[in-house]
Structure 1
Amino acid sequence: MQYDVNSVNDYLDALESDWRKEKLLQVRTLLMDCFPELEEGINYKMLCYRFNDEPVFHLNAQQKFIGFYVGDIEKIDPTNQIGEHFNVGKGCVRISKTKQVVEGPFKTFVLNATAHVKSGKDHSC
Structure 2
Amino acid sequence: MHLFSFIPIPTFIMSSEIHQYIDSQTSIRKERLLSLRTWLIDTFPGVRESMKYKMPTYQLDENWISFASQKNHISIYLCRPDSLNELKKKFPSLLFGKTCLNVRDKDSFPIKAIQTSIRSVLKPKTKLRIPNEKAESRRKSISKKLFETKSAYRKK
Structure 1: stretches of 5+ with no match in the other structure: 1-5, 121-125
Aligned residues: 107
Is 2:86 the counterpart of 1:81?
yes
- Which position in structure 1 is the counterpart of 2:125? 119
Q: Larger helix proportion, structure 1 or 2?
A: 2
Q: C-alpha root-mean-square deviation of aligned residues, in Å?
A: 2.2
- TM-superposed deviation, 1:83: 0.8
Which is greater in Rg? 2
Q: TM-score, normalised by structure 1?
A: 0.70
Answer whether contact 1:56 1:70 (CA < 8 A) is retained: yes
Structure 2 SS opposite 1:48: strand
C-alpha deviation, 1:109, in angstroms: 1.4
Residue of structure 2 in register with 1:40 after alignment: 49
Counting aligned pairs with the same residue, the percent is 25
Displacement of 1:17? 3.1
Secondary structure, aligned partner of 2:111: coil
Partner of 1:8: 18
Letter paired with 1:19: I
CA, structure 1 residues 47+28, in 2 after alignment: closer, same or farther (shift >3 Å)? same
Query: 5+ unaligned residues in a row in structure 2: which ranges?
Result: 1-15, 127-156
Once residues 50 and 108 of structure 1 are traced to their aligned partners in structure 2, the CA distance between those partners, rounded to angstroms, is: 16
Q: Which runs of 4+ in 1 moved over 3 A?
A: none
1:55: how far off? Answer: 6.6
Tell me the TM-score normalized by structure 2: 0.58
